[in-house]
Structure 1
Amino acid sequence: MTLFKIAFTNVRKNFGQFSMYLGSLILSVLIYFTFVSLAYNKSIGIIFKKWGLGGQSVFVAASIVLIIFVAFFVFYSSNYFTRSRKRELGLYSLLGLRKAQIGRIIFYENLMMHVMAVVAGVLIGIFFSKFFSMLLFRIMGLSIPSGFTFSIAAIGSTVFVFAIILIVTSANGYWIVYRHSMIELFKADVREKNPPKGSLTLSILGIFLIGSGYFLATRSIDDSIFWTENTFFASMLFVLFGVILGTWLLLRFLFPYIVYKLFQRKSFFYSGTNILTVTWLRYRMKKTAGTLTMIAILSATTLTAIGALSSLYTNIISYAESSNPDSYETVWSTETQRKEIFAAIRESKGHDLIYHEKADVYDANVIDKVDKNEPYSHHRMTYFSVISISDYNRLAMKLDNNSKKIKSLGDEEAIFLSPNGSLENSKRKNILTKKPYMLQFKNNSKQYKVKIKDIYNHTVLNADIASSVLVVNDALYSEIAQKTMPTHIDIFQVTNEDKAESLDHKIQAITGEPNSWWSTNMSSFYSNYHMMSTLVGVILYIGVFISIVFFAATGSIIYFKQITEAVDEKPRFAVLQKMGMSQKEVRAVVAKQVLPVFLIPLILGISHSVAAMIGMSLNLMFSVSAPVIISTTIYTVFFIIYYFICVETYTKMVSSEND
């Protein structure tokens, strides 16, 4: 019998044993192929080109990161799977096969697994490409027909990447075989002779490291002495490695300490099946600490990535809407251009003119001195677009965005209209309002003193035409108007502005303004909103894909660890069942043994993620609570489902009923 035939027969007759490894491979191929297919998707390329965005390069860069994580995921799965078969490999050696021949059998098995995975993953990816492209377009806020994606380049890239992974995993299999003798291959993992008692001192050190990392992570970068230009990198490294080391110390010394105390408490130890669970935990904790640390860090990374990106997406989309209250704004349009715009709106399908308004805005520079030694977030405004209270109230009442009416303002009072005002924290608001501003207008020698009375969380003009809008009373506005040249703005509000792509092109052609960020002569809600939503949507989409790989890697680590332990624990459970232990009691013991592997890393992962998100919210000044709660809940639900799957699998493997 040839070595290939031995490998083929082994896979065929033990397919159940190979199925989980094959499943992890198929998932890896599916994720990578689907992602790369989108990078080669012509529709997506057209969108990026249309908005002048470098989205394709973002996909290419992300695919490199994805390769690294997919390779790690597959390698870890392969390593655990191969190690769980050490006795089988030892049997090959006992039958007279040389180590080189055993290595070739591993290679042939790996080759069959990878071929099946690539074929299945690519086929599934082709059929799911429509769903994933629809999801991407949905995130970007676009209504574009999408079909099945079949890219030769994507298939070639997938085959090449997984061929490299095949070589690496097979080499690792060779290394395991050559590293161990036949006796070592047959020998199960030996339990620790002296079970760890833990250490309260090292546990306190772990808590201190994690607490210090949390403290630094939740400080304001602008105010904290730990985040200066000279200490920033050192603080970042301390947070990263301090939390990781602290997590390992907790799992390596605090958890064994607690288990040891439970062991000493006889009333608990001898209650029900606790004697079995506590004994198992005592003799497994040293080897489990590293794995639990990795699971906790992967969970924290996954939750932080999803929470951060979804928060970023939510807040930027909200800003895109609030900073563009008008459908179209043009600067110094001629009468001919206005008539052409009116005609374009009348001829458009599904878009009616709601109203046309005009406003004159005066641009002012702030002449206050700026202390360059202060953090940037402490700097006050340096530029304003000034409008009158009458114009503000007239425009605000036209808009359906909960704009507040201003009743009156003093001669030196003003209201600041900030589309991101809801993102400003109280300290930032205090900086903007604590003292008056001295305004200087072009070709106007007089300086005007105004103090911001309040900040409104909305604006009445698009931010790219009139940023940092300041509302003053009519008397002051009239005085400024007598000596200053205004910026004249025409405002066109239409129905269904978020679907006005065709109308958008016509008005751009009339004004001679192409798609671009922050145009100074023409502003469009449709263009500004979709440019932002496209770019941030792609970033969110990439983050979700990478997070899926992280979650899959976490699940893979847990599953293969449980499978390995189930093989080693089967003789023990066989004895217990012969002594009268029921199937229900077996399941209860397994559930208690497996629970710490899921629960402890999940709690630590959520805790690390929450600390990171608090720091992000504090420094980027936007709310993260809703996205974080949603993503954490979803992740926890999937973790719980995976826990029950592992308990069920473990129970079946150690149950004598399956023999």
Structure 2
Amino acid sequence: MLIQLAVSGMRSKLKDYIVLLAGLVMSIAIFYMFQTMAWNTGFIKENAVINSIRLVYGVGSFLLALVTFFYILYANGFLLSLRQREFGLYMMLGARKEKIGRLMLIETIVVGVCSLVIGTVLGVLLSVVVGHLMSNILEIELSGYYPLYWPAVLFTCLFFGVLFLISAVWNRLRLARRQVLQLLNGNMQADRPARGGAARVLMTIAGCISLGIGYFCLVFMEQLRELGLLTATVMTPLGTYLLFMALLPALLDRLKKNEKRMLRGMKSFTFGQLSFRIHGLTKMLATVAMLIALGAGAIAGGLAFMNNALVAAESSSVYDTQVHNPNQEQLRLLNSITFTERLEYHYKVDHEMLYFVQEELESQRPLIKEEYNSKSWNRLIRIQGPPPAGSSWNGDYSPDPQWNQFLLDMTPNDQPYGEYRVVNKQQFEELASKEQRIVLGKTADFLSYKAKWRELDRLEQEKLDAAQSNWTVYSKFSIYENYLGIASGTVFMGFFLGIAFLTMMASCLMFKILTGAAKDIQRYQMLRKIGVRRERLAGSIRHELLLVFLFPGLAGLSHVLVGMNLFSFILVEPYYRIWVPVAIFTMIYSVYYLITVNLYQRIVLPGKE
């Protein structure tokens, strides 16, 4: 009997359950995908270039689990509010609260099992796609990576099973505290308009100060560092909550007093609806604004980190390759590359001192960065001053900083000290040490020769291993690969975590709006009876809900645009392709707005005549 009632109840609210399932399935799929990266120790060990991804996806799993926990509680609370009258009628007919609790438990289990099955299957498919993309981006074989990873499946099922159990217990406790009349008349409680006065003024001032301090810390994050991060994390959400609670009711009151605007069409009713509704929405709208900032910011941060891999490599060295004593195979590779500039220098090593030829340095003046910091990696100049006629470690001599940096950068991988001396051609030939050479090359496009840079590094490492050296190759390409390994995990985590945040938070806003829809049925029926056309009422609903969605959307985008300064001290271009997360947010938010409008109209408006 209980199973039949559960199936009947879920069928009557099928559209609402589908919306709930969509958010849960997305969350479960992304959570499972994160676990395949975080739990597969064999995969991490066999692919050292992405060793740090495990921590990245572990952090992403924690954030997603935290948001999902509150999402499930809130979404199930919404479904309880939709069916509380139905449960009240069951109790009037003699059903005990224990039976109703079991009925809710059955529905929660059904929703949980369906979402787990669909979400896990989707998670496996996402893992296949992400693994393929990561393999292509990193240009490596992801040995040991399994999209269907059973420890990740078990952990995902266990975690979400516990969440669904907690949600069922929580709803049962809420039901136990309510009387039959409260369940029957739960949708007839009056809304209370927000009050003004001194409290609103104080909240506005405090909110402006808090948000101003938070934005100040974000803008000057490069100077404030850890202090700015901690302060912005506290003050920005605080200011957002205070301003939403204080200014939104005041803004609606201001609009209602504009008689020219209010006396046109259905706007008087629309703003009247909003003025009563907004008091219960301010905290939810502020929460949605912050989570929009987190979701869109996660996507923007991932893209910026991906771009930073190339920037970090370019800032590490002006020249794309640096080969010491190239063998025949290395020379063949170097000759197959189209260099815009290729330089060759000779040197000797004597008692850990590198000796360079002054005439060669004068005839082949190299390029260097105009300033030695990552913010100016693309501004290059050619050294104009004379080569230093002295030693880098002579206390009585201060070498030219441009030449000094260039000559230190040419130190071989297996040379423990960066000490050099510049001598003329005759002095160089008089040295008894073996003559060696170094080849430097710069191309027009570093990324178009990735396969050849990787092969050059492999050959250079073989030479070091043959010499029984414990040193590893340190090159521009090795720096690029290391940064790319971190960035690839970050960009995928940011993208999918951002999608999950935006999806679940838009769902929560939709649930919050639809929770109060049952209270508005009589108001729209009365307007319909006095002759207001259905199209006018539908237009009023679209206008009202557009404002409700617009407030947190604009605030969230503002937080994103200012908050990307958070990465200014570790990323060269924190606003790299910022339009991508903005476009993704706009698309998801618009879809949920249209779904909310459609569901709300189906609840409150009578059918078409």
**Do these two structures clear the TM 0.5 threshold for a shared fold by scoring above it?**
yes
Q: CA deviation at 1:156?
A: 1.1
Structure-1 separation of matches of 2:429 and 2:215: 53
Q: Which residue of 2 aligns with 1:543?
A: 494
Q: Which residue of 2 aligns with 1:15?
A: 14
Q: Which residue of 2 aligns with 1:352?
A: 336
Q: Aligned letter for 1:110? A: T
Task: Judge conservation of contact 2:343–2:364 (CA < 8 Å) in 1.
Answer: no
Q: Which residue of 1 aligns with 2:262?
A: 269
Helix, strand or coil for the counterpart of 1:358? strand
Q: CA deviation at 1:179?
A: 1.9
Task: Judge conservation of contact 1:309–1:540 (CA < 8 Å) in 2.
Answer: yes
Among candidates 153, 156, 163, match of residue 154 of structure 2: 156
Task: Judge conservation of contact 1:217–1:611 (CA < 8 Å) in 2.
Answer: yes
Which runs of structure 2 are paired with 1:572-611 in the superposition (5 Å)? 572-611=523-562
Which runs of structure 2 are paired with 1:141-540 in the superposition (5 Å)? 142=140, 149-186=147-184, 187-188=186-187, 190-197=189-196, 199-219=200-220, 222=223, 236-321=229-314, 323=316, 328-331=321-324, 333=325, 338-339=327-328, 341-342=330-331, 345=333, 352=336, 358-359=344-345, 391=361, 394=364, 418=372, 420-422=374-376, 441-442=392-393, 444=394, 446-450=396-400, 490-491=438-439, 497-500=449-452, 501=454, 504-512=457-465, 522-540=473-491
Q: Aligned letter for 2:502? A: F
Task: Judge conservation of contact 2:28–2:156 (CA < 8 Å) in 1.
Answer: yes
- CA, structure 1 residues 338+503, in 2 after alignment: closer, same or farther (shift >3 Å)? closer
Task: Judge conservation of contact 1:438–1:447 (CA < 8 Å) in 2.
Answer: no
Q: CA deviation at 1:528?
A: 3.4
- Deviations along 1:423-473, whole A, 9 cap, x unmatched? 699xxxxxxxxxxx999624x4541253669999xx996998999x9999x
- CA, structure 1 residues 7+424, in 2 after alignment: closer, same or farther (shift >3 Å)? same
Q: Which residue of 2 aligns with 1:411?
A: none
Structure-1 separation of matches of 2:484 and 2:545: 43
Structure-1 separation of matches of 2:218 and 2:531: 53
Q: Aligned letter for 2:554? A: I
Q: CA deviation at 1:145?
A: 10
Task: Judge conservation of contact 2:80–2:171 (CA < 8 Å) in 1.
Answer: yes
Task: Judge conservation of contact 1:34–1:125 (CA < 8 Å) in 2.
Answer: yes
Structure-1 separation of matches of 2:50 and 2:355: 28
Structure-2 separation of matches of 1:478 and 1:256: 86
Q: CA deviation at 1:72?
A: 2.8
Q: Which residue of 2 aligns with 1:655?
A: 605
- CA, structure 1 residues 300+323, in 2 after alignment: closer, same or farther (shift >3 Å)? same
- Deviations along 1:11-48, whole A, 9 cap, x unmatched? 24442332211222222222222332344669953662
Structure-1 separation of matches of 2:472 and 2:357: 18
Structure-2 separation of matches of 1:389 and 1:72: 71
Structure-2 separation of matches of 1:385 and 1:506: 25
Q: Which residue of 1 aligns with 2:132?
A: 134
Task: Judge conservation of contact 2:29–2:124 (CA < 8 Å) in 1.
Answer: no
Q: Aligned letter for 2:374? A: N
Q: Aligned letter for 1:656? A: P
What RMSD over aligned residues (CA atoms) do the two structures have, in Å? 4.5
- CA, structure 1 residues 513+137, in 2 after alignment: closer, same or farther (shift >3 Å)? farther
Among candidates 546, 561, 567, match of residue 616 of structure 1: 567
2:581 aligned with 1:628, yes or no?
no
- CA, structure 1 residues 279+488, in 2 after alignment: closer, same or farther (shift >3 Å)? farther
Q: Which residue of 2 aligns with 1:75?
A: 73
- CA, structure 1 residues 11+324, in 2 after alignment: closer, same or farther (shift >3 Å)? same
Q: CA deviation at 1:391?
A: 4.2
Q: CA deviation at 1:248?
A: 1.8
TM-score by length of structure 1 reads: 0.76
- CA, structure 1 residues 487+150, in 2 after alignment: closer, same or farther (shift >3 Å)? farther
Q: CA deviation at 1:284?
A: 1.3
Which runs of structure 2 are paired with 1:30-41 in the superposition (5 Å)? 30-39=29-38
Q: Aligned letter for 2:178? A: H
Structure-1 separation of matches of 2:275 and 2:137: 48
Structure-2 separation of matches of 1:492 and 1:656: 77
Structure-1 separation of matches of 2:22 and 2:485: 33
Structure 2: runs of 5+ lacking an equivalent: 380-387
Structure-1 separation of matches of 2:533 and 2:358: 82
- CA, structure 1 residues 221+522, in 2 after alignment: closer, same or farther (shift >3 Å)? closer
Q: CA deviation at 1:159?
A: 1.2
Structure-2 separation of matches of 1:387 and 1:190: 90
Q: Aligned letter for 1:542? A: M
Bigger mean CA offset, 289-298 vs 530-539:
530-539
Task: Judge conservation of contact 2:320–2:476 (CA < 8 Å) in 1.
Answer: yes
Task: Judge conservation of contact 1:37–1:151 (CA < 8 Å) in 2.
Answer: yes
2:596 aligned with 1:646, yes or no?
yes
Structure 1: runs of 5+ lacking an equivalent: 364-383, 397-402, 405-414, 426-436
- CA, structure 1 residues 263+563, in 2 after alignment: closer, same or farther (shift >3 Å)? same
Q: Which residue of 1 aligns with 2:382?
A: none
Structure-1 separation of matches of 2:229 and 2:548: 29
Q: Aligned letter for 1:218? A: V
Q: CA deviation at 1:657?
A: 1.1
Structure-1 separation of matches of 2:289 and 2:419: 49
Structure-2 separation of matches of 1:513 and 1:648: 71
- CA, structure 1 residues 102+650, in 2 after alignment: closer, same or farther (shift >3 Å)? same
Q: CA deviation at 1:567?
A: 2.5
Bigger mean CA offset, 490-499 vs 649-658:
490-499
Q: Aligned letter for 2:336? A: D
Structure-1 separation of matches of 2:456 and 2:258: 77
Structure-2 separation of matches of 1:531 and 1:357: 27
**Across the two proteins, how many residue pairs are aligned to each other?**
585
- CA, structure 1 residues 328+177, in 2 after alignment: closer, same or farther (shift >3 Å)? same
Task: Judge conservation of contact 1:323–1:462 (CA < 8 Å) in 2.
Answer: no
Q: CA deviation at 1:85?
A: 2.5
Task: Judge conservation of contact 1:6–1:105 (CA < 8 Å) in 2.
Answer: yes
Helix, strand or coil for the counterpart of 1:491? strand
Q: CA deviation at 1:140?
A: 3.8
Task: Judge conservation of contact 1:416–1:471 (CA < 8 Å) in 2.
Answer: no
- CA, structure 1 residues 648+10, in 2 after alignment: closer, same or farther (shift >3 Å)? closer
Q: Which residue of 1 aligns with 2:385?
A: none
Q: Which residue of 2 aligns with 1:555?
A: 506
Q: Aligned letter for 2:345? A: A
Structure-1 separation of matches of 2:401 and 2:17: 72
Bigger mean CA offset, 293-302 vs 489-498:
489-498
- CA, structure 1 residues 627+133, in 2 after alignment: closer, same or farther (shift >3 Å)? same
Task: Judge conservation of contact 2:355–2:423 (CA < 8 Å) in 1.
Answer: no
- CA, structure 1 residues 62+52, in 2 after alignment: closer, same or farther (shift >3 Å)? closer
Among candidates 568, 571, 589, match of residue 522 of structure 2: 571
Structure-2 separation of matches of 1:598 and 1:362: 70
- Deviations along 1:253-288, whole A, 9 cap, x unmatched? 212112112222322222211111111111112111
Structure-2 separation of matches of 1:642 and 1:513: 62
Q: Aligned letter for 1:359? A: Y
- CA, structure 1 residues 362+95, in 2 after alignment: closer, same or farther (shift >3 Å)? farther
